[in-house]
Amino acid sequence: MKIQSATTLARKAFYAYKLIPTEESKKELLSLRSTEPMLYNVLNKYNKLTYEELSKKFDDSQSKINETVYKLINNNDIILLIAMPLLLQTLLYIQRKKESILKSIIQRQDHYIKEERPQKN
């Protein structure tokens, strides 16, 4: 299974860790994407939370980000994102429901996503 978003990866790894909460499983999960800070933080700083508590924390945080970013976007804005396709996807979904500010951007496809992945040697 290939997981793209940092949040999704962190959720899945946290769920797996909760099934087998050992240092060995934590090391194995961290090795899956060693350059991902969210994965590291979830397994090292939030391991006392339940999966449901962590999911709620992620959802609440994403909602706050979405609300803040949504207020910043005006008609005819061009959106440049670096490694944040989940944010754009969420904003486009919200907008499809509201049918206003991003409509012209969606129709003209004036959004650019540049995704960078660490190169494996």
C-alpha 47/C-alpha 23 separation (Å) is 11
The predicted pLDDT at position 104 comes to: 46
Question: Which range, of 42-51, 57-66, 91-100, averages the lowest pLDDT?
Answer: 91-100
pLDDT tens digits, 67-82 = 887 788 777 777 665 5
- Please indicate, yes or no, whether the overall pTM of this predicted structure exceeds 0.85: no
Residue 77 per-residue DSSP state: P
Residue 4 per-residue DSSP state: -
C-alpha 111/C-alpha 104 separation (Å) is 11
Terminal alpha carbon distance of the chain: 21
Long-range contacts of 62-66 (CB under 8 A, 24+ apart): 62/7, 62/86, 62/90, 66/90, 66/91, 66/94
Q: Yes or no: say if 87 and 65 are a contact pair by the CB < 8 Å rule.
A: yes
pLDDT tens digits, 8-54 = 889 999 999 999 999 999 999 999 888 888 899 999 988 889 999 99
User: Residue 74, CB half-sphere, CA atoms under 13 Å: how many?
Assistant: 0
